[in-house]
């Protein structure tokens, strides 16, 4: 089985953000980096070529307990079409608070935002804090 493309790398987060396009994504990405760093108080790590990640936890797949791995607690990617925010709805507190975020759409594992100004920064900070507080998943018995 091939290794996931979203493994931690030594790539420079600031260089990645400085190269983001269009200019609006670059500005929003740098603002998100500041917000995520302030809330988590950890240094970001590039995960694969395009995700800025904060922290990590051990997960066990609910659908297949033999599937296990390490994933970031929270993070983001300033993609051309929209901002992708990861981990914000993975814990119950985050899922409950998510409707207060502002204008967004959802994917299976992330929240999509067109512009940072479309969401409430205070709510975003709470969501990041909930995501970052996540503990390792318990290993199944046996």
Arithmetic mean of pLDDT over the chain: 93
Give the HSE-up count for residue 98: Cα atoms under 13 Å, Cβ half-sphere: 20
Is residue 83 situated within a structural domain? yes
Give the residue among 61, 60, 57 at the shortest CA–CA distance from 70: 57
Residue-wise pLDDT for 8-47, tens only, equals: 999 999 999 999 999 999 999 999 999 999 999 999 999 9
**Burial of residue 34, with CB atoms counted within 10 A of its CB: 0-12 exposed, 13-18 middle, 19 or more buried:** exposed
| 5 belongs to a structural domain | no
137, part of any domain: no
Residue of 44, 47, 24 lying closest to 34 (CA atoms): 44
Ranges of beta strands (E only) in the chain are 45-47, 51-54, 57-60, 68-71, 74-78, 83-86, 105-106, 110-113
Q: Is residue 2 part of a domain?
A: no
* CA gap 6, 28 in Å, rounded: 21
> Which residue range is the domain that position 75 belongs to?
13-132
Q: What is the pLDDT of residues 8-17, one digit of tens each?
A: 999 999 999 9
For the stretch 92-109, pLDDT in tens is: 999 999 999 999 999 988
With H, G, I as helix, E, B as strand and everything else as coil, classify residue 69: strand
CATH number of domain containing 35: 3.90.1150
Q: Is 118 part of any domain?
A: yes
Count of domains observed in the chain: 1
| pTM for this model (two decimals) | 0.92
Q: Is the pLDDT of residue 6 over 90?
A: no
């Amino acid at each position: 089985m091939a290794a996931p493309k979203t493994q931690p790398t030594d790539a420079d987060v600031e260089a990645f953000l400085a190269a983001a396009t269009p200019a609006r994504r670059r500005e929003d990405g740098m603002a998100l980096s500041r917000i995520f760093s302030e809330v988590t108080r950890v240094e970001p790590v590039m995960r694969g070529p395009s995700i800025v990640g904060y922290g990590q936890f051990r997960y066990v797949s609910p659908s297949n307990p033999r599937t296990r791995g390490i994933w970031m607690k929270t993070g983001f990617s300033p993609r051309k079409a929209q901002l992708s925010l990861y981990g914000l709805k993975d814990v119950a507190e985050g899922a409950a608070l998510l409707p207060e975020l502002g204008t967004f759409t959802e994917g299976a594992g992330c929240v999509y935002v067109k512009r940072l100004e479309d969401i409430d920064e205070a709510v975003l900070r709470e969501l990041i804090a909930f995501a970052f507080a996540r503990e390792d998943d318990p290993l199944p018995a046996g």
